[in-house]
Amino acid sequence: MPVKKSTKKTVTTNAKPKVSKLYYYRMMFDDNEKKNYMKSSLTRKQVEKYMKAYEKANQKFINTEFVQYLKKYDKKAEIIEISDMSY
């Protein structure tokens, strides 16, 4: 008598870790007239909300200080400084 093979499929779970998106923003000139870029996992609306709160609390807007402030809410926030290069 033939043996019936099980047709039950085994489910393998290849759970991939959730990858958060990083957004890159161009920061216009601050009060020191520096142009920078920054990366963050926060959306544009969230960054604008924290930017308004930072502007209310501080009299000067400095890009590097704003990114330090933003790190309280987003540990992946980082400034990308732009500098001239000549060769």
Q: 45 φ, ψ to 5°?
A: -65, -40
Whats the size of the chain, residue-wise? 87
Domain limits, the chain: 23-81
Mean of pLDDT values over 68-83: 88
Which tops the pLDDT comparison, 86 or 42? 42
Highest mean pLDDT among 7-21, 40-54, 55-69: 40-54
Q: What is the mean pLDDT of residues 7-14?
A: 62
Helix H or strand E segment including 80: strand 78-81
